[in-house]
Amino acid sequence: MHNNPLVTIVCLCYNHGKFIVEALDSVLNQTYQNIQLIIVDDCSTDNSVQVIEDWRTMHPEVPFLANKKNMGNTKSFNQALQLAKGDYIIDLAADDYLVENCVELQLHKFKTSLYPNLGIVYGNIELVDENDAHIAYFFSVDNNKKRIKPEPVGDIYTGLLNLENNVCSVSSMVKRELYDRFEGYNEHLAYEDYDFWLKAARLYNFDFIDAILVKKRELRSSLGAHRFKRFNKKTRYFNFSTYQIVLNALKLNQSKSENKAILKRIHFEMWVCLRTIDPILLVRYVLLEMKIRMMLLKG
């Protein structure tokens, strides 16, 4: 690793006019300074664009991509990725903000990790509301804000399949070569992280930083808030994307044990289908489970 590698932070905004200045300032106020910041607004309907333009009067060197139509997170990020020059990449939502030593800690982990072929480092986050009031921590912590349960590291692929491992994507720094290798995010999906982590974990090791790296706001408008709604178009798109990710993961699997592991994820998604009243997707999962069980019998 270079002594002073460039880190690119892509800040994605959609109707986050109330919060984006804090997000952008958190990047500029990092203890580590060799950072390239790129801003993308995905055709916000609030005052986000004006807020960003006002902020850029003091920071005109920061590139700003303003989408003329709503493209979604995956396409917007990939668009910014074409401008990214960093050896490492951070995907930052405009309603979240970094703690001041976030980048420094992430780079230190890349430099000192015991794991070869390290692709991603991540840590813990604090969930806050729109007024910055504490809600919870992503991973449960003790009185010293240290992880109570040890976080799996190294090869976490099987754990991602069977829900035993969970990556806090918001707190992640990714080596640039992963985005180059996978050609960015899959633009056919409603969300990007689970698909990306599985592809990454198949080929690379992960490591964990036992510290709070990011403050993440829990808003009613966030994509994850649609996960369990009934008769909702966004919910069905989100959950069908998960089905596509499971299909892709099945192609990545290399052993009988991995095929068994993915069944746990399928059973969880079946429960989601029942809760959201999505019988068509439920049937897809039932047929997929039957296919996998036949594979296990033959294997």
Same structural domain for residues 176 and 58?
A: yes
Same structural domain for residues 216 and 231?
A: no
Query: Is it the case that residue 223 has pLDDT exceeding 80?
Result: no
Residue 225: which pLDDT band, with cuts at 50, 70 and 90?
A: low
Task: Retrieve residue 235's tokens.
Answer: 């919910």
Contact indicator for 256, 296 with CB cutoff of 8 Å: yes
Q: Confirm whether 1 is domain-assigned.
A: no
pLDDT in the model for residue 299: 65
Same structural domain for residues 53 and 25?
A: yes
Give the residue-averaged pLDDT of 210-218. Answer: 95
pLDDT in the model for residue 3: 81
Same structural domain for residues 176 and 289?
A: no
pLDDT in the model for residue 222: 59
What 3-state DSSP class applies to 170? helix
Q: What is the pLDDT of residues 250-279, one digit of tens each?
A: 999 999 999 999 999 999 999 999 999 999
pLDDT in the model for residue 261: 96
Mark residue 102 as left, alpha or beta (left: phi above 0; alpha: psi -120 to 50; beta: remaining): alpha
Give the residue-averaged pLDDT of 159-184. Answer: 95
- What mean pLDDT, rounded, does the chain reach? 94
Distance CA 227, CA 11 (A): 23
Number of domains comprising the chain: 2
Q: Confirm whether 173 is domain-assigned.
A: yes
pLDDT in the model for residue 256: 95
Residue 100: which pLDDT band, with cuts at 50, 70 and 90?
A: very high
Give the residue-averaged pLDDT of 223-239. Answer: 83
Query: Is it the case that residue 56 has pLDDT exceeding 80?
Result: yes
Work out the number of other CB atoms within 10 angstroms of the CB of residue 150: 8
Query: Is it the case that residue 219 has pLDDT exceeding 80?
Result: no
Same structural domain for residues 88 and 24?
A: yes
Residue 227: which pLDDT band, with cuts at 50, 70 and 90?
A: confident
Same structural domain for residues 161 and 266?
A: no
Give the residue-averaged pLDDT of 280-292. Answer: 97
Q: What is the pLDDT of residues 24-36, one digit of tens each?
A: 999 999 999 999 9
Domain edge (last residue) among 204, 222, 240: 222
Looking at the whole model, is its pTM more than 0.75?
yes
Same structural domain for residues 194 and 286?
A: no
Same structural domain for residues 25 and 138?
A: yes
Same structural domain for residues 115 and 256?
A: no
Same structural domain for residues 155 and 244?
A: no
Same structural domain for residues 125 and 99?
A: yes
Q: Confirm whether 2 is domain-assigned.
A: no
Instruction: Tell me the DSSP string of 176-242.
Output: HHHHHHHTSS-TTSS--HHHHHHHHHHHSEEEEEEEEEEEEE--TTSGGGGTT-SS-HHHHHHHHHH
Among candidates 204, 208, 214, 165, which has minimal Cα distance to 181? Answer: 204
Residue 242: which pLDDT band, with cuts at 50, 70 and 90?
A: very high
Query: Is it the case that residue 38 has pLDDT exceeding 60?
Result: yes
pLDDT in the model for residue 2: 63
Residue 209: which pLDDT band, with cuts at 50, 70 and 90?
A: very high
- Domain residue limits at 255: 227-298
Same structural domain for residues 271 and 128?
A: no
CA dihedral angle for residue 127, residue 176, residue 199, residue 10, rounded to 10 degrees: 40
Residue 98: which pLDDT band, with cuts at 50, 70 and 90?
A: very high
Contact indicator for 81, 89 with CB cutoff of 8 Å: yes
Contact indicator for 34, 7 with CB cutoff of 8 Å: yes
Contacts of 208 (CB under 8 A, 6+ apart): 121, 122, 123, 147, 151, 152, 153
Contact indicator for 248, 195 with CB cutoff of 8 Å: yes
Give the residue-averaged pLDDT of 82-89. Answer: 98
pLDDT in the model for residue 146: 94
